[in-house]
Amino acid sequence: MDDIDSAILGHLQRDARLTNRELAQKVGIAPSTCLERVRSLRARGVITGFHAAVQPRLLGRALQALVFARLRPLSREVISGFQVYLSELPEVVSVYVVSGDDDFIVHVAVPDIEQLHAFLMDRFSARREVVRFRSSVIYQQTGTRVLAPMTGSTYGEEP
């Protein structure tokens, strides 16, 4: 990763719809060089895809929450099976396997509090491996849309 790759990533994270010519102009390189660099970033797995950011409220999902869950027995098989189960649920935005008191944090988006309650009762409590869960409603969300490489580190470099 160099400064040009970082600039390319920054611009694409802000607007993935930029044409190659527009991106090259913003970064200050030739379009052919830009295209090769983007291809290299994709081939190395730095860029994993291009996505449209959406407003959940405008999709009928006005309520978002984080659900914290503890599973037992804790094994790779149980964790993997629960991940697969969650990833197939339409209410689930993202799933995190974490350390600490909880084993999972699940970001969900639903129409209202009644639907959140139904999701928790019908989807979470119905699973035998879930021994405890709790939820926190998200009032506001702020996120970093542009993730830059860590400077002065060896993150992402091969040993």
CB 6 within 8 A of CB 46: no
The pLDDT of residue 41 is above 50: yes
Q: What is the pLDDT of residue 151?
A: 67
| Residue 61 and residue 134 in one domain | yes
CATH number of the domain at 23, please: 1.10.10.10
Residue type present at position 71: L
Give per-residue pLDDT as tens, 85-132.
999 999 999 999 999 999 999 999 999 999 999 999 999 989 999 999
Residue-wise pLDDT tens digits, 13-35: 999 999 999 999 999 999 999 99
Secondary-structure breakdown of the chain: helix, strand, coil percentages, each rounded to the nearest 5: 40, 20, 40
Which CATH number does the domain housing residue 63 bear? 3.30.70.920
Q: Closest Cα partner for 133 from 122, 148, 144? A: 122
Residues 69 and 28 occupy one common structural domain: no
Same domain for 87 and 126?
yes
Domain residues for the domain of 28 are 3-43
Mean per-residue pLDDT over the chain, rounded: 92
For the chain, the domain total comes to 2
pLDDT tens for each residue of 79-96: 999 999 999 999 999 999
Looking at the structure, do residues 83 and 130 belong to the same domain, yes or no?
yes
Same domain, 32 and 68: no
